[in-house]
Amino acid sequence: MPTYSIRRFADPDALRRLRPRYLLTLLRPHADYFAGRTLVFPSSDEGEIDYETLSGILLNPDDRMPKPLVDTLYYINEMATEDGMDKLLAAAEAAGLTLDAGAEVSPADVAVQVWLKDPSLLERSHAQGFLARLRSYQSFQSTECPGPACDPSPTALAALETDLDDWFEKKKRGRGCRIFPFARADGVWFLVRHGQPFKREGSLEAGEPGSIYYRPVKHDIVVYLPDSGELRVNAVSKGEKDLYSAKFGLHLFGREDHFLGAAMYTLDPLRDDGDAALACTDIEGMEWVKLTEIRYFWKGTPFEIEIRRSDDLFAVMARRNGRIPSGPSIIGAKFLAKFADAKVARSVSIRPPNTAEYTRDDDGMLVAQWLSKRGFILAEQEDRDEKAEPILAGA
């Protein structure tokens, strides 16, 4: 069950802006629940709705509220915005879905209509919005580079959902996960919607204290990039990341160990190549990159982690005739990258062996090209070393 938060939709004035026939069609399947809370719907679409009482019920749910009603209200509330309306109108047109989209419809009107005609279309449009929120991921490298194409069948996705559900249920997160695949220019993006452990919160009902018990919803993102054979995972726990690596490998490519989880990134080019590692003029869409933070790990007892920051570390080193020391391991770095489509530079972070963070997920394709060409991606660095060996031998 999603986290219950529908204040945008449940405000009395917002409810009045909905066409009564849409609202009544949406709520009448749950008439018994509302009657138990002293609200009886009019017998016809022309009757008067008690909006204040309805708003009070929606804003103060109890543990008897039907789960399908909670899900319905959550998704409609999430998409009852101007941006949500634009997305739903475009999705409905693409799907050939006819809506009563006159000049006077509100965003909530559109969301309710789409839900009534095709709930899966609204859910998918809602899920697609989460793809733009990716900020950090762990990478798993496959046994093939480049990797095979990926066009998952409904049968494969259903089997994958079942395997994920088994794990989520065991970890007290419930069943009912959904996977939404989206084909994009760089590969296939999967949004995984699943539950979290149950949560109980206090509530008030007719002035008396009570509680509502629900399972919050969580969205993870898994990205498969065939050009590099890479699986990127945006999730919270190590268990979830390892789960996705194994089960996506199994159901998409036939083996749980297809994505080995080997180290993906290295920061050695910063030491080996200096500021030449930041060159990006050969990447269309990138203007410049600066090193703004570097983290060193000095071995020993006790160990030491050293962090150096500046708005341009290589410029600072050049001014002081300094260089990156050879003794410590480089365990993290932050960069400031200027993209051609942006007025201000944006942050990029790399933490070996497998973690990258972008300010905006749209930067990913360009940053991946830059990392690859400068040798920050281990597979590419190994290819470069292998090509260099015959030249060195001849020399």
pLDDT digits (tens, 9 = 90+) for 243-276: 999 999 999 999 898 887 667 789 999 999 999 9
Q: How far is CA 169 from the centre of its chain?
A: 22
Helix, strand, coil percentages for the chain (3-state, nearest 5): 45, 25, 35
Exposure letters 130-164 (e unless 16+ CB within 10 A, then b) = bbeebeebbbbbbeebebeebebeeebbeebbebb
Cα distance between residue 16 and residue 55, in whole Å? 10
Could you report the per-residue pLDDT of 96-155, keeping only the tens digit for each? 888 876 656 778 888 888 988 998 888 888 877 766 655 678 888 887 767 888 889 999
pLDDT, greater one: 53 or 363: 53
Domain ranges of the chain: 7-130, 134-253, 268-394
Residue among 325, 320, 263 at smallest CA distance from 294: 325
Q: What is the pTM of this model?
A: 0.60
Query: Model confidence over 271-302: pLDDT tens digits?
Result: 999 999 999 999 999 999 999 999 999 998 88
Containing 64, the helix (H) or strand (E) segment is none
For the stretch 65-98, pLDDT in tens is 887 887 788 888 888 888 888 889 888 888 888 8
DSSP 147: P
Mean residue pLDDT of the chain comes to 82
Using CA atoms, how far residue 291 sits from 269, 310, 314, 324, 373, in Å, is 12, 8, 7, 12, 17
Phi/psi region, residue 329 (left: phi>0; alpha: psi -120 to 50; beta: rest), is beta
Domain 134-253 listed as CATH 2.30.30: no
Radius of gyration over every alpha carbon of the chain, rounded to an integer in angstroms: 26
